[in-house]
Amino acid sequence: MSTVLTVNAGSASLHLAYLRDGTVTDRLDLSGSPGSEEVGRAVTEFVARHDRPDAVGHRLVHGGDVLRAPARVDDATRAALEPLAELAPLHLPPALALLDRLRAGLPDVPHVVCPDTAFHADLPDAAATYPLPAEWRRRWGLRRYGFHGLSYAYATRRAARLLDRPVAELRLVLAHLGGGASVCAVREGRSVDTSMGFTPLDGIPMSRRSGAVDPGMLLWLLDGRLDREELADGLYHQSGLLGLADGRSDDTRDLVAAAPDDPAAALALRVYAHQVRREIAAAATSLDRVDALVFTGEIGWDQPEVRYDICAGLGPLGVPLPVGGNRASDGPVSPPGAAIPVLVVEPREEMQLAEETLRVLDAVPASASGRGLRVPAPSAGIANPDAYGV
């Protein structure tokens, strides 16, 4: 019997959970910057109330080319992760600060980092390669990395159980909709396309992040209109649903309630649904068929109005209108017998974190910590169904 402490640092939230043999025994959910002293003290107090875990698993949003698979952390691994912080400035600095805090507080416990990007490490070249100068791509590792991998790995496995079909037979389009958001096409348990790219700023609009916008427009703004800091702040903190709603709210629950009387809130929801539909349709073209559309993430799981509006434009793909609202458990929200079932799956990244953490420790002896750096290569099957338990 093993107890794993999972650490999931988002851009403005932190979720800690103790799992014993796959069951959550206690959890702590905090809002605010995971790197703040206030949150740090709450983490220290929470850990102090529990017995020493057998392992700690840390979600790492971006592994870049440095970390292509979950790996046990030693000093060399930790040092190698530092340069990645600028690729995900909202996520990685606080996550690495928490890693340092917990390694110091639990020095005799093995720590494992599980990058979200690992699930997408086997993306086909056509999906992963940017049409940029080859020298740029070689020099700086410019490629589509993809994110939300822990969520997609769990949701894929869960959807297979709900459909009572082997993962190896399934073609799925999944939408992780939350504070961050993306879409992913999964064939036989492998990611074959995804909407986020080199950083978690790409793709569909998010709560406060812009998602994909015309790069020519950004160059135009930088030409004497905005400086780099202003542009970065606007793209990361003032855009997305918040920007669309003219600063009123970045929460779809508020926007849904306000939409009948607030044109800005209504516009925000229309743009969001339109962009998500476009990405779902694009992802479907990477599959030879679609066996199910799966919604996960806080919005995907808990906002039926948004799901309905997204599905309302997917008739050409054969996706039906949902008939179910919020659910107390995972399952279909589409009509019985739908050709393409629409499923909702509660986001449970802590389950995937715990599973991957224990798998790494079972496979890698203590003397080989850090072995996950740059290995295995993508051809070794990082995102294969067995490696991810899907």
User: Which of 116, 122, 193, 309 is flagged as catalytic?
Assistant: 116
Q: SS3 for the chain, per residue?
A: CCEEEEEEECCCEEEEEEEECCEEEEEEEEECCCCCHHHHHHHHHHHHCCCCCCEEEEEECCCCCCECCCEECCHHHHHHHHHHHHHCCCCHHHHHHHHHHHHHHCCCCCEEEEEHHHHHCCCCHHHHCCCCCHHHHHHHCCCCCCCCHHHHHHHHHHHHHHHCCCHHHCEEEEEEECCCEEEEEEECCEEEEECCCCCCCCCCCCCCCCCCCCHHHHHHHHCCCCCHHHHHHHHHHCCHHHHHCCCCCCCHHHHHHHCCCCHHHHHHHHHHHHHHHHHHHHHHCCCCCCCEEEEEHHHHHHCHHHHHHHHCCCHHHCCCCCCCCCCCCCEECCCCCCCCCEEECCCCHHHHHHHHHHHHHHHCCHHHCCCCECCCCHHHCCCCCCCCCC
51 is catalytic: no
Q: So which residues are the catalytic ones? A: 116
